[in-house]
Amino acid sequence: MDTIAAFIDGSTYAASVCDHTAWAAGHLGAPVVLVHALGRPDSSSAPADLSGNLRLGARRALLEKLARHDQDRAALAVERGRAILDDGRARMIAAADIEVTPRLRRGDPVEALEEMMETTRLALIGKRGEDASGEMVHLGSNLERLVRASTRPVMVVSRAFRPVETFLIAFDGGASATRAVERVCDSPLLKGAEAHVLTAGGKADRMVAAVERLRAAGFAVTEHHAEGGPEEAIAACVRAHGIGMLVLGKSGHSRLRQLFIGSTTLELMRVCPVPVLIFP
């Protein structure tokens, strides 16, 4: 059975990931796999070349002490990870009648998702991780890698949860954006929410079929067109209309493609304080 894969760490975004996941699971009727990735062991405690610095006995004692330190640190990371998963699972079960399976994994979220891809319907991750201080690091640093690697939709959640009542589709007329429209229409995830469709750069004529498809699927649709760069137009539309979620296709043939292959992705995440749903 297809599941929802939610990735959490100890950051302030963990609660929001859990809340968005519970909301999505309620709409999709799918069970949740809640994942905490421990990361790879680092080499910070590895000793320098001690071959000429210490006596053999001293070298052995130091290496043994370092090994014990690494074992203790690994055990604490596992204990902490289980506590994070327990708290996250409890939060989701309190919010919705859903099935949640916790999973502690060594490695990073990208590796975990790749292993789960065939059974994953939707993946969720926070915009920033626990090591972030206004920048995308730790989980946040994996965003572009995860989006690139995923063959499933990825929801990148904002700091706080609110029920999604409106969403904006950035539409460039390309195959990827068209697929995103189709996926929205075919999925129960956003049913009942009001749709907004934005084109930027003189492509309003290509919006007609997308708008008609959304309306045929039962969505109320508002159309927007803006000249200039898509990043600025999207951010302005989100602010002006109180958009609750941004929906994007993973790649396209226009400037919108830049949203998924470079620093523009991170910039858009920063300037749009709403969750972003990215369809492959």
Percent of the chain scoring above 90 in pLDDT: 49
Contact present, 126 and 11 (Cβ < 8 Å): yes
Q: Provide the pLDDT for residue 258.
A: 47
In this structure, what DSSP letter does residue 48 have? -
Query: For residue 267, is pLDDT > 70?
Result: no
Q: What is the pLDDT of residues 5-16, one digit of tens each?
A: 999 988 889 999
188-242 pLDDT, tens per residue? 999 999 999 998 755 566 688 899 999 999 999 999 988 767 778 888 899 999 9
Rounded to whole angstroms, the Cα distance separating 270 from 125 reads 15
Tokens of 170: 């950035």
Q: What is the mean pLDDT of residues 259-275?
A: 65
Tell whether the model's pLDDT for residue 253 goes beyond 90.
no
How does DSSP assign 95-157, residue by residue?
A: HSS--EEEEEESB-HHHHHHHHGGGEEEEEEESS-TT-SSS--GGGGGHHHHHHH-SS-EEEE
d(CA 252, CA 177): 7
The domain 3-41+76-157 is placed in CATH, from the list 1.10.357.10, 3.40.50.620, 3.30.110.30, 3.30.420.40, at 3.40.50.620
Residue 85 has pLDDT above 70, yes or no: yes
Q: Indicate if the pLDDT at residue 169 is higher than 70.
A: yes
Q: Residue 50 — very low, low, confident or very high, per pLDDT cuts 50/70/90? A: low
Tell me, yes or no, if the two domains 3-41+76-157 and 166-279 fold the same way.
yes
Task: Please tell me the pTM assigned to this model.
Answer: 0.83
What are the residue boundaries of the structural domains of the chain, listed by start? 3-41+76-157, 166-279
Specify the pLDDT at position 117.
94
Please give the residue that has the higher pLDDT: either 136 or 229. 229
> Distance between CA atoms of 194 and 184, rounded to whole angstroms?
12
Question: Does CATH place domain 166-279 in 3.40.50.620?
Answer: yes
